[in-house]
Structure formats: structure tokens, C-alpha cells
């Protein structure tokens, strides 16, 4: 409560410092704004920054050491007032307010970047901590190399990641094999061939599709795609009689990713300059030759990015897998067999009412960290590909 009031007071002081600083600078220049080094509003912003900056730093420091004491709040407000007085003293026409504002903007942007990095680091650290606890009780060799996943409540479980990893990769692969070509071709059609009116109707439609919650796709997998695949493919081919299967989850996940891939790629393709198309058409290339040899290569870094985003989503997807592929951890090649993924097992290990300190629960963190490492590698790979490509073509 005191913290909120302190912050509100700071805001009021900051709001007041803008007109004060501005007026002070103008007054020093005898009311002639042309005599100032910077624009009048720069002086206003500079006083805001000079007032708020030190007070906020103090506030954060105090909050971290001794949270929410009235004395602390008073100190912060006093600091702001002193800073304001000092800032106003500096607001003479020769003061380089514009540069101060520039530095303030830079600091703000850097702060935002740091928050993003710091939260990621925090997440990884907390995962690392629990993972360490897990490996203190369970050998890493069994975890990474064992091909059986069989947790038991009374302890003595087999917690091998391989069946889960296999399920994750298998389902994601099927999803991407469906989503990437279909999504990309749809994007090319939308960006290069479709008329204005068609685009105006279909593009928002695709975006709506991209917004459907994955649980709804999961229901679709459970009640439609699963039985369909079982009755028309798996049983006639003698490949099993399971309603939930890798194929079901993969296909439905692919359907979920199509709008995702297509709307991202569509925007990217539409950004390729018309002059490149003209250049190719002007040499007597057909439209499809132009697309294949000029437009798509020019858009490739963006398309690779879109595909990898889709891959990350596929790897992290849970709901469709639970409802489409089941929860049985198996290491099998048959696509009509029920399997499961890392994410599903993370959920089921954490939601049981087992002991939190037992390896059966802690394994969730090890699984999560592995998943994180995989997607990280994927992103690094994507960056490397894009960079290599840029080097070649820009």
C-alpha cells in the first residue's frame, strides 16, 4: 500500500516537473524559445527524467532491501524533490536538454531489453534449481538414455526421456510436414494470385482460424479425426485399433499450424518489392518461375523464421496431444499407435498428488529444461540459417 502511494506521489511530482522545467528554461532565455539550445519540450522532459531517475533507483533499492516502510517512502519522495530542485537549477538556455532526453530514451529501451533477458534467465535458473534436485535423486544416465517411462508412486520408477522425446519429435514432424507446404502454398496464392476481393474475405478468415483455442482442435481430434483414421486407415491396414494416435495428433496439430504459417508468410511475401517481380517478368519469366526463383528466395529468411516459430509451437503443444495421441509413453514407429509427448508428461507428473520432493514429480523440471534446450537449439539454428542466407543475398 505504501509502495503504491509512493509511486503515485512520484508521478505527481514528475508531472509537475515537466511544465516547471520548461517554464524555467524559457524564463532564463527571456521568453525567447529560439535562444534555447533545444526545443522547450526537451527541457520539460529532461526535468522529468532528472527528477524521476534518482528517485526510482532509490525506490527499487529500498524495496529490495527493506520493503514498504513509511521512512523509506519519505526518503524516496524527498529524493525526488531534491532532484527536482537540482534539475530546475540546471535548466538554463545552454543546457543540452535534447541530449539528455536522447540518453533517457536509450536507458528506457535498454531497460526493456534487460527485463526480457532477466526474466528468461530467472525462468532458466528456477528450472535449473529443481532439475538439480531431481538429478541428486535420479541418475542422469537413466534419464537421458533409458527407453522406458514408467513412473510408480511407491518409488523405484523408470523415468527415461527417450519415449517422450520420440513422441514429441514424431508428432511435430507430422504436423510440420502437413503445415509447412500447405501454409506456404496458401500464402503464395494469397499474396501473388488472389484478387483483392478474395483476399479481403479469406485473410481475416484465416486469422480467425489462428485464434481458435487448441483445446477445440483437441476435441476435433478426439471425436472426428481419431475415429476416422482408425476406421478407414489403421484397421484396414492392420496397424492397430487405437483411436488416439500419433497421426491424429500430428494431423490436427498441422491443421492448427496452417493458418499460423500462412498468415506469417503471406505478410513476408507481400513485402518483397514489386520491382523484383517486374524485373523477372520483364525478362520473360512466368509467374510461377518468378515466385520460385525470385520472390520466395527473397522472402526466405522470414519464411524460415515462420516455420521455426511453428515448430516451437508444435513442440510445446499439449492439449491436442492429450486428446489426440493419448498419454501412453511408447517408443514405436507405427504412426497409428498411441504415444505421448514431453509436455503432456510434465502436466501429469505435476498434477498428481505425489510428494513434491520425490523424483516422480521433480522429473517435470528436468523434462521442461530439456524442452527449453531443444527449442533454444532450434532458434539458434534458425538464426544461423537466416544469417548465412542474409550474408549471401543482401
Question: Which residues contact another protein (rule: CB under 8 A)?
Answer: 196, 273-286, 289, 293-294, 297-298, 392-394
10 Å Cβ neighbour count for 141?
9
Report the distance separating Cα 199 and Cα 190, nearest Å: 6
The residue ranges of DSSP E strands in 183-251, in sequence order, are none
Handedness of CA 318, 323, 328, 331 (dihedral sign): negative
Q: How far is the CB of 287 from another protein (least distance, A)?
A: 8
Q: How far is the CB of 290 from another protein (least distance, A)?
A: 9
What residues contact residue 52 under an 8 Å CB cut-off, 6+ apart? 10, 13, 14, 17, 80, 83
- Closest to another protein by CB, 81 vs 304, is 304
- Closest to another protein by CB, 169 vs 276, is 276
Report the distance separating Cα 171 and Cα 177, nearest Å: 10
What residues contact residue 46 under an 8 Å CB cut-off, 6+ apart? 21, 87, 91, 95, 97, 100, 101, 104
Give CA angle at 292 (311, 170), nearest 5°.
Answer: 25
- Closest to another protein by CB, 154 vs 196, is 196
- Closest to another protein by CB, 76 vs 269, is 269
C-alpha cell at 74: 519519505
Report the distance separating Cα 128 and Cα 362, nearest Å: 11
Backbone phi, then psi, for 45, in 5-degree steps? -65, -40
> Residue 336 in contact with residue 245, Cβ under 8 Å?
yes
Q: How far is the CB of 299 from another protein (least distance, A)?
A: 10
Q: How far is the CB of 193 from another protein (least distance, A)?
A: 12
Q: How far is the CB of 186 from another protein (least distance, A)?
A: 21
C-alpha cell at 152: 510408480
- Closest to another protein by CB, 58 vs 272, is 272
- Closest to another protein by CB, 239 vs 300, is 300
- Closest to another protein by CB, 39 vs 276, is 276
- Closest to another protein by CB, 266 vs 337, is 266
Give the C-alpha distances (Å, rounded to integers) separating 252 from 63, 129, 178, 249, 343: 48, 35, 9, 5, 17
Q: How far is the CB of 273 from another protein (least distance, A)?
A: 8
What b/e string do you get for 189-205 counting C-beta neighbours within 10 Å, with b at 16 or more? ebbbebeeeebeeebee
Q: Residue 285: left if φ>0, alpha if ψ -120 to 50, beta else—which one? A: beta
Q: How far is the CB of 261 from another protein (least distance, A)?
A: 22
DSSP 341: -
- Closest to another protein by CB, 42 vs 277, is 277
Q: How far is the CB of 392 from another protein (least distance, A)?
A: 6
- Closest to another protein by CB, 277 vs 345, is 277
Amino acid at each position: 500500500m505504501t509502495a503504491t502511494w509512493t509511486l503515485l506521489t512520484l508521478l505527481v511530482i514528475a508531472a509537475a516537473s515537466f511544465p516547471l522545467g520548461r517554464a524555467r528554461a524559457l524564463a532564463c532565455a527571456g521568453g525567447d524559445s529560439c535562444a534555447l539550445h533545444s526545443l522547450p519540450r526537451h527541457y520539460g522532459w529532461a526535468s522529468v527524467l532528472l527528477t524521476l531517475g534518482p528517485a526510482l533507483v532509490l525506490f527499487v533499492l529500498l524495496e529490495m532491501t527493506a520493503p514498504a516502510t513509511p521512512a523509506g517512502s519519505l526518503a524516496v519522495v524527498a529524493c525526488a524533490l531534491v532532484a527536482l530542485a537540482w534539475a530546475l537549477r540546471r535548466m538554463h538556455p545552454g543546457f543540452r536538454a535534447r541530449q539528455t532526453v536522447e540518453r533517457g530514451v536509450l536507458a528506457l529501451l535498454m531497460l526493456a531489453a534487460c527485463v526480457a533477458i532477466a526474466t528468461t534467465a530467472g525462468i532458466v535458473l528456477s528450472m535449473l534449481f529443481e532439475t538439480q534436485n531431481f538429478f541428486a535423486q535420479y541418475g542422469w544416465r537413466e534419464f537421458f538414455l533409458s527407453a522406458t517411462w514408467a513412473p510408480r508412486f511407491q518409488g523405484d520408477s523408470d523415468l527415461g526421456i527417450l519415449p517422450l522425446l520420440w513422441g514429441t519429435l514424431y508428432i511435430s514432424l507430422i504436423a510440420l510436414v502437413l503445415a509447412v507446404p500447405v501454409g506456404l502454398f496458401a500464402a503464395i496464392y494469397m499474396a501473388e494470385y488472389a484478387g483483392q476481393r478474395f483476399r479481403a474475405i479469406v485473410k481475416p478468415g484465416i486469422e480467425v482460424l489462428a485464434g481458435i483455442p487448441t483445446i477445440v482442435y483437441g476435441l476435433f481430434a478426439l471425436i472426428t479425426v481419431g475415429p476416422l483414421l482408425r476406421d478407414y486407415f489403421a484397421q484396414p491396414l492392420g496397424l492397430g485399433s487405437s483411436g488416439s494416435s500419433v497421426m491424429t495428433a500430428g494431423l490436427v496439430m498441422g491443421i492448427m499450424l496452417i493458418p499460423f504459417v500462412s498468415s506469417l508468410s503471406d505478410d513476408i511475401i507481400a513485402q518483397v518489392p514489386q520491382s523484383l517481380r517486374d524485373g523477372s517478368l520483364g525478362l520473360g519469366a512466368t509467374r510461377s518461375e518468378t515466385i520460385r526463383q525470385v520472390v520466395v528466395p527473397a522472402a526466405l529468411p522470414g519464411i524460415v523464421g515462420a516455420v521455426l516459430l511453428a515448430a516451437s509451437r508444435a513442440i510445446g503443444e499439449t492439449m491436442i496431444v492429450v486428446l489426440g495421441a493419448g498419454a501412453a509413453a511408447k517408443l514405436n514407429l507405427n504412426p497409428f499407435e498411441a504415444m505421448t509427448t514431453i509436455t503432456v508428461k510434465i502436466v501429469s507428473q505435476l498434477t498428481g498428488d505425489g510428494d513434491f520432493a520425490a523424483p516422480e514429480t521433480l522429473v517435470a523440471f528436468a523434462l521442461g529444461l530439456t524442452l527449453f534446450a531443444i527449442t533454444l537449439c532450434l532458434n539458434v539454428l534458425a538464426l544461423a540459417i537466416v544469417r548465412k542466407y542474409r550474408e549471401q543475398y543482401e
